[in-house]
Amino acid sequence: MTRVLISLGSNIRPRQHLQQAVERLRERSRVLAVSPVYETRPIGPDGKPTPDQPRFFNAAALIETDLDAATLKNCVLRPIEEELGRERRPNKYAPRTIDLDITLFGDQVLDLDSRHIPDPDLLQYAHIARPLADLEPDFRHPEDGRTLAEIADALPQTGVAPRPDVSL
């Protein structure tokens, strides 16, 4: 069994879509824990805030699976996104009902389609690192070597606000 950290994000009816995504993950995998929810500013391709779309709610889930990364992505995560109305557009920074990404797949380093795992965004954005650190603070990044807590603490927290009123 592999422990997998999945990043979740939504900025179209985010409370509803995050809750539904976690429910579906629980139906299709062994969910060990879900992080608190954070409200974050949308970010554009230049890494700067994009004020012309709604704010995101972000969280993370820790699951355990016997699936390989490709099967998890294509047979579990993508179908959940599709069920919740995710539309893939040329602009990957467009608003979305739900985004489910494998951020860490145990301590493995993989290239899956056009994505690298561990997700490089983990080292750049607090809205990804903070929820993961809430779940597995002492887990060491397989390429960087720092713990998730060290990575999250080193990133600017500007625009990342806890949402204790939203529980998953």
What sign has the CA pseudo-torsion 54, 103, 64, 34?
negative
Domains identified in the chain, total number: 1
Report, as residue numbers or ranges, the catalytic residues: 86, 96, 99, 101
- Report the distance separating Cα 144 and Cα 159, nearest Å: 25
pTM to 2 decimal places = 0.93
Question: What's 4's DSSP letter?
Answer: E
CB-based contacts of 98, cutoff 8 Å, min separation 6: 8, 9, 10, 17, 18, 20, 21, 80, 81, 84, 85, 86
pLDDT in the model for residue 85: 87
pLDDT in the model for residue 95: 83
Mean pLDDT by 10 residues, the chain (168 residues): 97 96 97 97 78 90 97 97 85 84 97 92 95 98 97 92 93
Residue with tokens 């467009």: 94
Question: What's 37's DSSP letter?
Answer: P
DSSP 80-140: HHHHTT----S-TTS--S-EEEEEEETT--EEETTEEES-GGGGT-HHHHHHHHHH-TTPB
168 falls within a domain: no
SS3 72: helix
97 falls within a domain: yes
pLDDT in the model for residue 154: 97
pLDDT in the model for residue 157: 87
56 falls within a domain: yes
pLDDT in the model for residue 52: 78
pLDDT in the model for residue 104: 98
pLDDT in the model for residue 114: 86
CATH number at residue 106: 3.30.70.560
167 falls within a domain: no
135 falls within a domain: yes
For residue 129, give Cα distances in angstroms to 20, 29, 33, 48, 156: 22, 22, 16, 17, 11
Domain limits at 135?
Answer: 2-162
pLDDT in the model for residue 94: 76
